[in-house]
Structure formats: C-alpha cells, structure tokens
Amino acid sequence: MTDILFGQSYYLRFDPKLWDAMQPYPPLGTLYAASYMRERGYAVAVFDAMLAQSEQAWDAALAQHRPKFAVLFEDNFNYLSKMCLSRMREAAFVMIDMAKRRGCTVIVGGADATDHSQRYLAHGADFVLIGEGEETLGELLDALTGRSTQPLERMLGLVWQQTALPTRRPDLRQLDALPFPAWDLIDIAQYQHIWQQRHGYFSMNMVTTRGCPYHCNWCAKPIWGQRYNVRSPENVVAELTLLHQHYRPDHIWFADDIFGLKPGWIERFAELLAVANLAILFKCLLRADLVSPAVAANLAKAGCKTVWMGAESGSQKILDAMDKGNAVQDIYRATQLLRQHGIEVGFFLQFGYPGETWADIGLTRQMVRDCLPNDIGISVSYPLPGTKFYERVRAELGDKQNWVDSDDLAMLHHGPFPQAFYRKLHRFVHAEYRLQKMRRGSARAMLAALPRLAAECFHYVKGLLSLRPYLANK
C-alpha cells in the first residue's frame, strides 16, 4: 500500500493555448517532493496531471494506490502554477473532494495555496504547506504517522484549522543535499513520444536555482520571496549525466527564474560539461543586464540554444515604473552579444502597465523591429497577490481576479486602454513581428513565401486600422 500519492492540478488539457502548442514538461516541483519523502522512508507514488484527461484520472489513481495521504504539491517551477489560473484551482478543489471521499488526509502546497490557504481549507484540505514545502511536509507526516512527537502547533510553514497565525519556514539553502527528482515515478516515454512526434526532438526540464533576488513589482513570489539559492555546477552536471544515461534528452529547459546569476557559475558549468563530454542543447531565462561578453561566450560553450529575456517594454519610463532595475539599452546590447555567439533570443513583452501610453507601446514595437528576436511572447499586466502592483490596483479589481487559463489575457485592472484594445494589440504586434521577420529574409525566401507575405500584410493593416478608434482621443 502506498503511503503518499502526490499530485498537482495543472492539466495541460484545461489550457487550450498550451495544449495546442504541446510542449509538455513533467511537474518538477512535485517530483522533488516525492523524492524527498521517499528518501525519508515513505512509500510514494505520483499522479501526473500534465497529460491526464481530467480529474477522473486522479480518482482512478487514488483507487489504485489507496494512499493514506493525498498531497497536491504544485510545481513551483512552472510559471503557470505561479499565475494561479482559476481553471486549475477548480481542478484542485475537485481533487481534494475526491481524496476526502476516499478517506485520505489531504495536504496542499503551492503558490495559490500559500496565497489563499483558507480557501483550500474550506474546500476540504486538512493542511496547507506555506512556501517551499518539502521540510514542512516531512515534519508533518512524521508527526501524523507517529515517527515524531513534534506538536503541529510548533511547525513552521503549516496552516490547518487550529492555526492561530501562519508562519514561514526558512528556505532550503543547501540544494545539493536534495535528492534528484523522482523521474522514475512518471511515464517519461509518453513525454518523449509527444516531443518527437510534434517537434522532432525530446526536451526535459531541470532547475539549477530556487528564487529570484530582483524586485520587479508585478512578479509574484509567494514561495521564495526575494531569496535566491543555487545548486553547484557539479551537482547540476551530475543530474544531467543521469538524465543522459537513462532518458537521452536532446534538449533541456532550465526553468530557473534567472539562470547562472552567481558570478562564475556559467563558466564553471561549461567547463564541467566539456570534461564530462556532455553536449545537450538548452534554453534558459536571463536578465538582459546580466549578459556580458564572457557570459554570452560561456553560454555558447555550454550548449545554450536559446535565451529568453523579460524585456517587457521598450520604454524606459515603464521599466522604471515596474522596478525592473535595468535599461532598454541593456536589451539591445544583450541581444547583440547573444547573437554574436549564435544563441537565439526570445522576448517576453508586457502591455497595459499603469501609465503606459501609445507612445510607450510604439517604443516597444520599435525595440522588437530593431532587435528582431527569434520569438516573442506577449501578455498584459496581471496583478497577483503579494506584489506591489497588486496593491496598487487592488481597488480596481472586480469579482474576477485570476485568469481562467494562459490565453485569457484579461485586463483585471483599469488599464490605460479598454480590454478590447489589448486583444487587438496582441494580434497586431504579432502580425507586425512576423512581417518584419519575413522582410528580413532572403529574396528567394520572400519569393517562396509570397502568399504568406501577402497574408501578413493584410493582418498588419487590418490590425492597425482596428486600433485607430481607440487612439482618436489619445
């Protein structure tokens, strides 16, 4: 009989935009928690919601494993979990009810549960883990199973019905001491098949850090706050070696908020990969102001294929309002340096921040035209609990305070323009970007793509005309 059945509530099928993109990754945070508890001597199993059809698959897993404890441990490394999508919250509530009906003690952890612990308790959860979760879960289960006599009232990072005042536990600092994720508890072959069939290669996910020390005032940090802890390059290469030996990935997505922030880390990482004769392409996230000539060179040496940057805006006024702490010129410079070393660049862009004007939007469009990144991702400003931005617009929020899924993109606060404007802007900027990429291509490529070029020109003009009524009085 299984002691603990781990699960999480991000179902790719419930997110139409990302289901269509079909780039699934296993729930890394859940797998870390499972390996941590297995190392403490518990019999564990994992329900992987990522590729499941619905919550009924969770109920079937409960029937199969008959666990005493059902633990919904959300993947804190998945940015979509941090976004607290309401469709996934609803799934979590359904999963809690299913587990309770089967007699399980239900424990929940993750960003949304940390922010809204009482809602999860009200829907039947017995305990909520606040923050990082692994150590608190270990102490809690030791107490509940009689392995320890520590009173629940004295446990840090735990909320239950008798909690007087929630507390936070200090974060894990020695990340190398953690066991590697429990990859063996999920169907890796299923992921491999999907990636090969849809994209022609197989990508897996890893993290080298936990947290982010920067102060972007719209970025939710319910798990680690401003704290930042890092694994050693040696430990990361050891895990990469294991993945290569057992699963043969062609590509790695490093899901860190910021990759290689510690000085010298990337250089040492590249050296160790060369010694181990490991050549695996990867993508990562970096701040533009951290990309130096040495960083770009060592990223290329390590096998970096793509760097995504939170460019956000081409307006310095907006970057300063966001407390980004970097300059627009940093974005231009970082793009140039990465390109010089053959590394692809992606921009995350954000529209609708308070105070943004059509002129500011124009500066962002100009930045995209000048830099012409290999890909862009566009969103609107999204107020999440615990952020300065949320507190700034809190009075403007209505009944809807979360996006349903990643394609929702609703302006939950009173943006500088109406909601319809941002939906049209989203389509227009994408059309303008695609048109610019085609125009920068070779004459032969443009000739071959004339029908597509004509279509993009049409969408560009149509998009521009659709925006004009909103700009009449601006």
Whole-number Å distance between alpha carbons of 394 and 304: 40
As a whole number, the mean pLDDT across the chain is: 92
The answer to which of 45-49, 108-112, 387-391 has the lowest mean pLDDT is: 387-391
**Bridge pairing between strands 344-351 and 304-312:** parallel
- In the chain, what are the domain boundaries? 4-159, 188-416
Whole-number Å distance between alpha carbons of 334 and 348: 14
**Bridge pairing between strands 251-254 and 228-230:** unpaired
Whole-number Å distance between alpha carbons of 254 and 209: 9
Q: List, for residues 444-466, the tens digit of each pLDDT value.
A: 655 565 666 667 666 667 776 77
Q: What is the rounded average pLDDT of the residues 204-216?
A: 95
Find, among 65, 6, 2, 61, the residue nearest to 33 by Cα.
6
Whole-number Å distance between alpha carbons of 68 and 296: 50
Q: What type of residue sits at position 355?
A: G
**Does residue 243 have a pLDDT over 90?**
yes
What residues form DSSP beta bridges with 140? none
Whole-number Å distance between alpha carbons of 312 and 377: 10
Helix H or strand E encompassing 37: helix 28-39
The CATH number that domain 188-416 falls under is 3.20.20.70
Rounded percentage of the chain residues whose pLDDT exceeds 70? 95
Q: 159 versus 447: which is more confidently predicted?
A: 159
Q: Could you tell me the pTM of the whole model?
A: 0.93
The answer to which of 166-170, 241-245, 341-345 has the lowest mean pLDDT is: 166-170
Residue 272 banded pLDDT, cuts 50, 70, 90: very high
- Asked if 125 contacts 88 with a C-beta cutoff of 8 angstroms, the reply is no
Find, among 15, 5, 85, the residue nearest to 48 by Cα.
5
**Does residue 224 have a pLDDT over 80?**
yes
**Bridge pairing between strands 304-312 and 105-109:** unpaired
Find, among 342, 288, 282, the residue nearest to 310 by Cα.
288
- Give the SS3 label for residue 373: coil
Q: 227 versus 140: which is more confidently predicted?
A: 140
- Asked if 383 contacts 415 with a C-beta cutoff of 8 angstroms, the reply is no
Angle between helix axes 134-144 and 28-39 (nearest 10 degrees) is: 40
Whole-number Å distance between alpha carbons of 117 and 132: 14
Whole-number Å distance between alpha carbons of 117 and 183: 29
Helix H or strand E encompassing 469: helix 450-471
The CATH number that domain 4-159 falls under is 3.40.50.280
Contacts of 257 (CB under 8 A, 6+ apart): 209, 211, 212, 285
